[in-house]
Structure 1
Amino acid sequence: MCLGIWWCVAPSASGQEDIPVAARPEPPEPPITYWAEDTLDIRPDADADADACLDQFRWEPDRFAVEIHPSTEPGVYADVRFPSPLPSGTAETDTVHAEWYAARDQHSGVVRPAPVYVVVHESGSDMRVGRLIASSLPPLGLHGLMIQLPGYGQRRSERLDRDDLPRMIRQGVADVRRARDAAAAIPQMQSGGIGLQGTSLGGFVATLVGSLDGRYDAHVLLLCGGDLYG
């Protein structure tokens, strides 16, 4: 029942001409590198306190590499990697890892051009809900790109503790915002819009990301309520 929501909020095709499936062979031996450009555009806020808050998420836009590596995770097409725009100095967390659940042609099985949702997982260490949502997208004709937040998956580090949480959230917000531009650089993700989905912890992160500059085409937030304002 819940999966039906994706049809309603799927990023719409942007008028780009779809590339024939036959022109999309499986990628060559990885890693494959694409180059992306940051499109971050956080406008100044008239309220000084609000602008100071936004300033924590600003970085100097840059050109960055997006690498496609093989994945050993079941059902994951590839491990997408790119540098965090707000590095912490901890090597394990400063490379962003994203699990790519690929939309494929029903007949040939070839990965095909399709819209994509960037998925931000919950606080559980196994990221089970995030993976469930991301893996549910290909049957609906969408790519799923699940970002591993700092401290999760391949970004775990023994040097992190509870005191690092505010910094990790800040870095995670920046990583998810940059993920939009990383996805835009991948040819198979250039045939439609780029949406953002977050659950629980991921919902809070996605809410912050969506408030920065509105570059994602659609937002789906689950189980991230709370009287934050009050």
Structure 2
Amino acid sequence: MMLLLTLRRVLVSGCALLLCSSLATADTYTARDTLGPLHDDRAAAARLLERVYWEATSFELTVGPSELADEGDAVVRYPSPLPSGNSRMDTVAMLWFKARDASGELLDEPAPAVVLIHSMHGRLLFSKTIARAFSRQGLHAFIMQMPGYGERSEPGMSGVVAVFENASQAAADARRARDAVAVLPQVADGPIALQATSLGGFIASVAASLDDAFNPVMLALTGGNGWDVLHKGDRDALAARRRLAEYGYTGDTLRERLDLMEPLHVAHRLDPDRTWLYSGRHDTVIPPANADALAEAIGLDESHHRRLNADHYSAILQLPVLIQEMVQLVRNADR
């Protein structure tokens, strides 16, 4: 036990030293929130919006070098607009994969940007794959680490549980990400896109529903009705339910907590002309019924709800085609 505690202290100290080293060489920018007053006549939506809202203010962000080869070209850090009191959780980190040309060289001119919200898996492999592809296609890609992941992880704390307990913070962080990205000189003027996968799609659906900050919004392998997903979905969904149960989240306690940040309460606020949903016909983690519920709540037509002949995992085989489509959606956004 003493050996484990010593190793943990060494790892935490090492992470702290790396963070301090990165900040010492970081560039600093000043941004300002563009989030305005939020209103909705639907009671459930109004309650959710109240949980995520914060007063707009100026904030500083830093851009420092990435310490790990698989984490992009730089790390952008900024304060969470809804701090929890945990300093580690309250500093948002985004992995920046910079836009490159066909030969792999960094672009000299400003380029469009996409904020990505990752799935429940700690290594963020799916989002990193998409981010690298966006980068090679001349887009800046920023993977926002949700509470409990990456630099925001806590020893002994499950990432899924951390997102569950800090869902309103995660959604607010994602919305502020847009304003952080927009001030970077390498990012072109115009819309900032949002792409999210699986668990990240639940958070992104809420963040994009706050206002019209993101264009386009591209949601993959996600849906609505979190309670239903946790109790009918298998594999990742089942693993998440079991992990939440270990922390005492079962029955009415789980249902009530999920309802506080249920995407279906606010999905009607998303613009169906600027939102795309990619779901799997054979997905057993996020069943088709849950994807359909989200699509219906948004008001998506068939051209904006792409049903893939895949499950939650085999969808990766169609990723090259989907990435090309998403790149065009970003480039075609009204700039």
**How many equivalent pairs are there?**
202
Aligned to 1:54: 49
- What is the CA distance between 1:135 and its match in structure 2? 1.2
RMSD: 2.2
Partner residue of 2:96 out of 92, 96, 100? 100
Percent of aligned pairs sharing the same letter: 39
- SS for the counterpart of 1:69 is strand
- SS for the counterpart of 2:88 is coil
- What is the CA distance between 1:110 and its match in structure 2? 3.7
- SS for the counterpart of 1:134 is helix
The runs of 5 or more residues in structure 1 that have no matched partner are 1-28
Preserved contact between residue 42 and residue 54 of structure 1 (Cα < 8 Å): no
The runs of 5 or more residues in structure 2 that have no matched partner are 1-23, 227-263, 265-292, 294-335
Normalising by structure 2, we get a TM-score of 0.56
Cα gap change, 1:128 to 1:164, in 2 (>3 Å): closer
Aligned to 2:25: 30
Cα gap change, 1:152 to 1:191, in 2 (>3 Å): same
- What is the CA distance between 1:94 and its match in structure 2? 0.5
Give the Cα–Cα distance (whole angstroms) in 1 for the partners of residues 189 and 102 of structure 2.
17
The 5-angstrom pairing of residues 181-200 of structure 1 reads 181-200=179-198
Preserved contact between residue 42 and residue 213 of structure 1 (Cα < 8 Å): no
Aligned to 1:134: 131
The 5-angstrom pairing of residues 71-82 of structure 1 reads 71-75=66-70, 76-82=72-78
- SS for the counterpart of 2:166 is helix
- What is the CA distance between 1:89 and its match in structure 2? 0.8
Give the Cα–Cα distance (whole angstroms) in 2 for the partners of residues 63 and 166 of structure 1.
28
- What is the CA distance between 1:30 and its match in structure 2? 3.1
Bigger relative contact order (CA 8 A; separation at least 6)? 1
What letter corresponds to residue 52 of structure 2 in structure 1? Answer: F
Cα gap change, 1:91 to 1:227, in 2 (>3 Å): closer
Higher-Rg structure is 2
Is 2:46 aligned against 1:67?
Answer: no
Q: Give structure 1 regions of 4+ aligned residues with deviation exceeding 4 angstroms.
A: 105-108, 159-165, 226-230
Normalising by structure 1, we get a TM-score of 0.80
Preserved contact between residue 42 and residue 212 of structure 1 (Cα < 8 Å): no
- SS for the counterpart of 1:35 is strand
Partner residue of 1:118 out of 115, 118, 139? 115
